[in-house]
Amino acid sequence: MSATPPIITLLTDFGTQDGYVGAMKGVIHSVLPHTVIADITHDIPHADIPSGAWALRGILNLFPAGTIHVAVVDPGVGTERHALLLEADSQWYIGPDNGLFSWILSEAGSSRAWQLSEAAWRPGGNSHTFHGRDLFAHAAALFARDRDPNTICGKEVTPQFLEWATLHLVQEDTTGEFIHIDRFGNAISNLLPPPDPYDPGWKVEVPSAGLQVASLSRTYGEMPEGTPLALIGSHGCLEIAVRNGSAAAQHGLHTGDPIRMVRQ
C-alpha cells in the first residue's frame, strides 16, 4: 500500500442529522484507519439524482488522480439496480447505477465500469435499506486498500446514462434547458457559451418567465441589486441570476425550463 493515505470522498442525500454519514466513515476507517475522507456534500435533495450528478461534475478533476468518490443518491436502494465501480480519467467512483454518474461519463475522455460483487459487502452487513454503509463505503475501503477491481467486482458493465447530462455549444440560435437550481437560486443551463459571449450582439431569453437579458455580464456585481442577469458561471455554463436575490424565486424558474441564446 502507498505511504500516502488514500483519499475517499463522500457525496450523499443523507443530511447530517441522523448519523448515517458517520456510519459510512466508521466502516471505512475500520478497514483503513488512516484514510483521508473528504465530504463533498450531504445536502443533495432527497432522491434527486440530477442534483447529485451535477454536484459530482463540480469536483471533476479537482482531486488527485486515484481518488475514490463514493456517491449515494439512491431512491432504488434494495432493488435490482446494479452497484458500480467506475473508472473515469484516473478517478474512481462507487455508487448505484441509476444515472448518478451521467455527467462523469459525458465528460470523461475514457471510462470503464464493473458491477460490484458479493465480496464488496461488509461482513454481517446485509441491510436492504443502507447500502451506503454496508456496500458502497465498504467497497471503497477495500478498493483503496487493494487497488484491484477484481477483489470487489464481477463483470464489466455499461453504466446507465441519462440524456439530460449533455452540454450544448451555442451557435447563432441555440435553445437548451435549466439543469440545476443552486442554493442561491441561480438557474444553471446546459448551454456552453460561444467564443465571443460578451459581444453585444447576443441576447438571452427565458420564454416561460417572459424574461429577456440583452447582454451577458462578467460578474454578479455588474447589475443593480434585484436585477436579473445572464453570465457564465464557475461551471462554464450559461446561467440566469439576480444580484443579491434568487432568480428561481423571483422569476419562477425550474429545471427543465427552456433557455435560448441568440444573436440579435
- Is 1 among the domain residues? no
Q: Which amino acid is at 169?
A: L
Residue 163 has pLDDT above 60, yes or no: yes
Other CB atoms within a 10 A radius of the CB of residue 260 amount to 17
Q: Domain range spanning residue 186?
A: 168-263
Mean pLDDT of 206-232: 95
- Is 56 among the domain residues? yes
Mean pLDDT of 70-76: 97
Q: Count Cβ neighbours within 10 Å for each residue of 126-136 and write b for 16 or more, e otherwise.
A: eeeebbbbbbb
Q: Which amino acid is at 250?
A: Q
Strands (E), 7-122: 7-12, 36-41, 68-72, 83-88, 91-96, 111-116
**pLDDT band at 261; cut points 50, 70, 90:** very high
Other CB atoms within a 10 A radius of the CB of residue 140 amount to 31
User: What pLDDT score does 3 carry?
Assistant: 72
- Is 190 among the domain residues? yes
Residue 229 has pLDDT above 70, yes or no: yes
User: What pLDDT score does 125 carry?
Assistant: 84
Same domain flag for 20 and 140? yes
Alpha-helix residue ranges (DSSP H) falling in 13-109 = 20-31, 49-57, 102-107
Q: Which amino acid is at 36?
A: V
- Is 229 among the domain residues? yes
CA-CA distance, 26 to 91, in Å (whole number)?
23
Same domain flag for 30 and 68? yes
Greater confidence (50 vs 3) lies with: 50
**pLDDT band at 4; cut points 50, 70, 90:** confident
Q: How many domains does the chain divide into?
A: 2
CA-CA distance, 7 to 141, in Å (whole number)?
10
pLDDT tens-digit readout, 124-138: 988 999 999 999 999
- H/E stretch holding 228: strand 228-232
Same domain flag for 175 and 151? no
Which residues touch 124 (CB under 8 Å, ≥6 apart)? none
Mean pLDDT of 158-187: 96
**pLDDT band at 118; cut points 50, 70, 90:** very high
**pLDDT band at 1; cut points 50, 70, 90:** very low
Q: Quick check: pTM over 0.85?
A: yes
